Every structure is written in structure tokens, then in C-alpha cells.
Amino acid sequence: MIQEEVLIDSGERTVRTGPVRVVPGLAVTALAIAVAAAVNRLLPAVSALIIALALGVLLANSPWNRPALHPGTRLASRRLLRAGVVLLGLQLSIVDLARLGGPVLVVVVATVGATFAFTWWAGVRMGVGEGQSLLVAAGFAVCGASAVAAMDRVADNDDEDVAAAVALVTIFGTVCIVALPLLREPLGLAAVAYGQWVGVSVHEVAQVVAAAAPAGPAAGTAALVVKLTRVAMLAPLVAGTSLLLRRRRRTHGATARRHEHVVPLFVIGFLAMAALRSAGVVPTEVLNAARLVSMLLLTAALFGLGTGVKFGNLRAAAPISLALGAVSTTFAAVVGLVGILLVT
């Protein structure tokens, strides 16, 4: 017998009945993935994740946003997201971390932790709201849109908060692509040091590649290794935040959300995949396939999240959110630069 589940989302009553109901939404999601991949091929500096989110927002605010699509896009924004984050763990290896050396690793960890804490704190003080501040903190401190989406599964924010945070990642990551290469010579940074600074300061992987490219291959390699080290901190940050929010709910007498785990299961899966990669038991072909599948799943998830966003709900918070993005980007760049200069 097919079970029926009633979902209440943004004041709209949506009915989902069985697996067949997700087909229209997943079909549109697949089309969005194809479009995002094609645009990314033409404009490599623009992440497919960002393009997919934009497509989702456009659909949400168009006449073609039919209720029949919602079960599939909701599935993409939840289950496919978690699967994509789990597979993301296969990109990480202890060998990559060892290449950095102790001092640089300390700089990366300190910069990520400080940026995350400062952005969360500053956003609340500026009136952005704790939920969106937490998402911006994750996106700017760790790995852009993927971190925003992963943290959303813990903080349980509105889709508008997610879209705003990802939009800030796009805006200020693009600013970094232009600004950081211009600052290299005045700061007197060698190629490797510059690459490390880019890796510790810029948000999305594609943005890191674009910002490091003008300094040559050595800078590009250094930037990617540092960036992947930041990605490795996604799991402890999400797990730690989950524990903190869970404890806060108990302190204030709130009931834990249904099916809430102390440490989200997708975080455990992420760590398990990273352990497999570090053990050297996963063939190169499987790693390459997993990288592609992870990107497809995360692209689908960002499209799904975008379909829950209405333009009208984004306008009021735009100026103060932009201010938070500017403050956070500047903080990460300055702290990262000071740290790199101290250890090189």
C-alpha cells in the first residue's frame, strides 16, 4: 500500500504519495544539472553549484513552478545532498594534509575556526539572524555552497537563508578572483605562499582555481591542497555545531527535532569515506567516478534548495547580508595572510 505524507512548507500544503510522485521534480532537476554543467564548461570560473541554485530560484519565481515538482525537488535538496556530502569525503586524504607541514596546517585550521566563529558572532550582532549567520560562517570558512547546504541540514533554516548565503559566496568569491591576484605583487608573495593564501581565503573550489591561476602551476597546486584541507574541516564543524545546537535546545527546554542524531549520519559517512581514501584501498577509477557523482548530487541539491526561494523574501535582508559577507571575507583574507606570512 502506498503511504501518504503531508508536508507543510512555507505555508503551502504539499502532498507526497509514493515514489512515482518524485519523478517530475527529479526530471526537472536532471535537466537543471545538464544546463549547469554546460554553462560551467563555457565559464569554468562559475561553479555548477551556483548555476544550479540560480536555476532553482528562477524556477521558484516563475509560472512553471507547479506543486507536482515539489516532491522531487525536495528529495534532491535533502537526501541527494547528504549522499553528495558523503562522497565528498573520498576527495580527502591524510597524505594531502601531510604535504602541508605542521605550521601551514595550523594556519589553515586556525583561520577556518576563527572565520567560522567570528562570522557567526558578527552576523548575530549585525542583525542578520543566527540561522543565516551560521550558514554564511560555514560557507565562507570551509567550502562555499557545499558547506552552506551541509550546515543547513543541522541548523534547519529557511530556503531563503540558504540562497542568500550561497549568493554571498558567489559575490565575494568573485571579488577575490579579481582582487587577490592584484594584491600579490604589492604584498611580495612568492607563488607557493600566494597559492596557500588563496586556498585559505577563497570560498569555492572553482574560485580558488581561478584566483590562483595567474601565479602559475605551483600556486595552483598549493591552493588546492590547502582548500581540500579546509574541506576536511566540514565534518568536525558540522558535528560540533550539531552538538552545540542540541545542547542549547535542551537548555531552553525545546524538544529535539524528529530523527535528530547527536552527530548527523552524513557526517559519519563523510569521515568513513575519507578514511577509505586515506587507507589507499579505493581504485583511482572509483575515486574519479565518485568525484563526478558527488558533484552531480550536490548540483542537484542546490537546485532543489533554490526551488524553495522567493525573491520577495530576499530583498529586506540584502544590504546587511552584503555587509556581513564583506566583513567575513576581509577577516578570512587578513587572518590567512598573517598566518601564511608568519610560517613562510
First to last CA, the chain: 65
Please tell me the predicted confidence (pLDDT) of residue 156.
67
Contact 91, 291 (CB under 8 A): yes
Percent of the chain with pLDDT over 70: 87
Contact 116, 326 (CB under 8 A): no
Please tell me the predicted confidence (pLDDT) of residue 319.
83
In the predicted model, is pLDDT for residue 4 greater than 50? no
In the predicted model, is pLDDT for residue 250 greater than 50? yes
Task: Provide the 10 A C-beta neighbour count for residue 130.
Answer: 14
Closest CA to 226 of 331, 115, 103: 103
Please tell me the predicted confidence (pLDDT) of residue 254.
52
Please tell me the predicted confidence (pLDDT) of residue 13.
39
Please tell me the predicted confidence (pLDDT) of residue 168.
86
In the predicted model, is pLDDT for residue 206 greater than 80? no
Four-CA torsion 251, 254, 258, 263, nearest 10 degrees: -20
Please tell me the predicted confidence (pLDDT) of residue 221.
77
Between CA 61 and CA 292 the distance in angstroms is 29
Residue 37: what are its φ and ψ, rounded to 5°? -65, -40
In the predicted model, is pLDDT for residue 202 greater than 50? yes
Please tell me the predicted confidence (pLDDT) of residue 80.
86
Q: Which residues contact 208 (CB under 8 A, 6 or more apart)?
A: 198, 199, 202, 223, 224, 227
In the predicted model, is pLDDT for residue 16 greater than 50? no
Task: Provide the 10 A C-beta neighbour count for residue 94.
Answer: 14
Between CA 288 and CA 108 the distance in angstroms is 26
The model's pTM is 0.69
Please tell me the predicted confidence (pLDDT) of residue 317.
52
In the predicted model, is pLDDT for residue 283 greater than 80? yes
List the single range of 189-193, 253-257, 292-296 with lowest mean pLDDT: 253-257
**Over the stretch 156-201, which tens digit does the pLDDT of each residue have?**
677 778 878 888 887 888 788 889 989 999 999 999 999 999 999 9
List the single range of 1-10, 116-125, 252-261 with lowest mean pLDDT: 1-10
Q: In which band, very low, low, confident or very high, does the pLDDT at 3 lie, cut at 50, 70 and 90? A: very low
Contact 145, 47 (CB under 8 A): yes
In the predicted model, is pLDDT for residue 313 greater than 70? no
Please tell me the predicted confidence (pLDDT) of residue 11.
39
In the predicted model, is pLDDT for residue 12 greater than 70? no
List the single range of 71-80, 88-97, 219-228, 229-238 with lowest mean pLDDT: 88-97
Contact 301, 147 (CB under 8 A): no
Between CA 4 and CA 61 the distance in angstroms is 27
In the predicted model, is pLDDT for residue 20 greater than 80? no
In the predicted model, is pLDDT for residue 241 greater than 80? yes
Percent of the chain with pLDDT over 90: 27
Please tell me the predicted confidence (pLDDT) of residue 8.
33
**Over the stretch 112-142, which tens digit does the pLDDT of each residue have?**
999 999 999 999 999 888 888 999 999 999 8
